[in-house]
Amino acid sequence: MIRPVRLSLKAQYAICGVFDLAYNGGTDPVQVRVIGERQQIPVSYLEQAFRQLQRADLVEGKRGPGGGYVLSRPPEEITLRDIVEAVEGPLSESLAKGPPPHDRRDPHRPGFVWHDIARRVGDALDEVSVAALCKRASAGAVHRADADDRIWHI
């Protein structure tokens, strides 16, 4: 039985947050709290992810009334790899380590395989843009937030 590769919860939250900005926000800033409510993600985790996404120049923060986050680049130019690496670091470092060995000098371990896995996972994540996610979501009838769905506080 082949099991799917699992991304960390942090990476999953970051992908959901960026997707929500692209799918529901457009060019309007969206508050992390609103994204968290829509995506059912704890705001504290989402805030951490968005700080890392901002450092990676994937999102921009807008301050003041009507503030929130917007994408820094068009969704066609942001890949899942960009998002995952923004919150997890380079795949070549995180995946290439492999499981923690008891003894790094163990000649019986296939250490060479971790770099190959990192490359293949990275290639797969590079193939999917945020725009492609939005297109699939639209075709799959994923509910899009309306202007009336936004939460406004005065």
Please state the domain extents for the chain: 9-91+129-146
The DSSP symbol for 23 reads I
Half-sphere exposure of 138 (CA within 13 A, CB side): 9
Would you state the structure tokens that stand for residue 25, as one six-digit string?
């926000």
Burial class of residue 39, CB neighbours in 10 A (0-12, 13-18, 19+): middle
Query: Is the per-residue pLDDT at 45 higher than 70?
Result: yes
Q: Which CATH number fits domain 9-91+129-146: 1.10.10.10, 1.10.10.60, 1.20.140.10, 1.25.40.10?
A: 1.10.10.10
* pLDDT value, residue 29: 93
H or E stretch including 80? helix 80-88
Beta strands in 15-154 (DSSP E): 59-62, 68-71
Per-residue model confidence as pLDDT tens digits over 3-19:
666 788 999 999 999 99
Structure-model confidence comparison of residues 111 and 118, the more confident one = 118
Top-ranked range on mean pLDDT: pick from 4-8, 30-34, 62-66, 112-116: 30-34
pLDDT, average across residues 10-31: 93
What is the 8-class DSSP label of residue 107? Answer: T
Q: How far is CA 75 from CA 32, 61, 79, 104, 117, in A?
A: 18, 16, 8, 41, 26
